[in-house]
Amino acid sequence: EVRLVQSGAEVKKPGESMRISCKGSGYRFTNFWIAWVRQMPGKGLEWMGILYPGDSDTRYSPSFQGQVTISADKSISTAYLQWNYLRASDTAMYYCARLQVNYYSHFDYWGQGTQVTVSS
Amino acid sequence: SYVLTQQPSVSVAPGQTARVTCEGDNIGTKRVHWYQQKAGQAPVVVIYYDRDRPSGIPERFSGSNSGNTATLTISGVEAGDEADYYCQVWDSGSDHRVFGGGTRLTVL
């Protein structure tokens, strides 16, 4: 069974750094792109970026380029989303999602989401 | 950047047909995927490649895509279909994934 399990909810202060994780299981982690998707409170889905764990090839949405870092540790089948400087506007639910085998395909499995709250 | 436009809301009575549209420039040349997101849950794909259904998704869900509009059609709407629906494409020109703004389906 394919599963993406994300790390737990976080509460941080502005200016702090943070990394959240997404662990894949039930499939060959290195063979499928993993994306991160933001959902701000009461708003829609926003694609942040995507990474291929096999070679760490990473692509970012222009809206998030330079704001976050997407990485992975293929030895433990885990992808990460990292911030060096959090802002209140980073408060949101963050999902990881697996891209089905073709690059133009859909996201076939999603993590359960990680709620991030940034507040002083 | 490529933009997908969805109507904010659609309301239908149980048993009726709901049509959720997704507009984009020449979207008919792209492969459109549709996701259902129920309150408090992660999204789930209900249609991919314009019209294909994943296993476990009822036949009541169907999709089409032509010209500047893609459409998700839900026939015989049930109370359990109440959710937000998002269209999504890969824009090859920019190599970016794009989501529509979402449509809230209310079952009256």
Contact between A118 and A15 (Cβ < 8 Å): no
Angstrom distance (rounded) from CA B21 to CA B25: 13
Residue range B2-22: average pLDDT? 97
Query: Which of helix, strand or coil describes residue B6?
Result: strand
The encoded tokens of residue A69 equal: 């870092």
Q: What pLDDT shows up at residue B1?
A: 87
A62: contact with B, CB 8 A cutoff:
yes
Angstrom distance (rounded) from CA B21 to CA A51: 30
A102: contact with B, CB 8 A cutoff:
no
Choose the closest CB to A44 out of B45, B49, B101.
Answer: B101
Angstrom distance (rounded) from CA B3 to CA A101: 24
Chain B: give the shortest CA distance to residue A119, in Å: 22
Chain A: give the shortest CA distance to residue B1, in Å: 9
Q: What pLDDT shows up at residue A103?
A: 85
- The DSSP secondary-structure symbol of B1 reads -
Mean pLDDT of all residues belonging to chain A = 97
Is the model's pLDDT at A54 over the cut of 90? yes
Tens digit of each residue's pLDDT (9 = 90 or more) over A100-116 = 988 889 999 999 999 99
User: Which candidate, A22, A2, A107, A111, places its Cα nearest to that of B35?
Assistant: A107
Handedness of CA A69, A50, A97, B19 (dihedral sign): positive
Q: What pLDDT shows up at residue B100?
A: 98
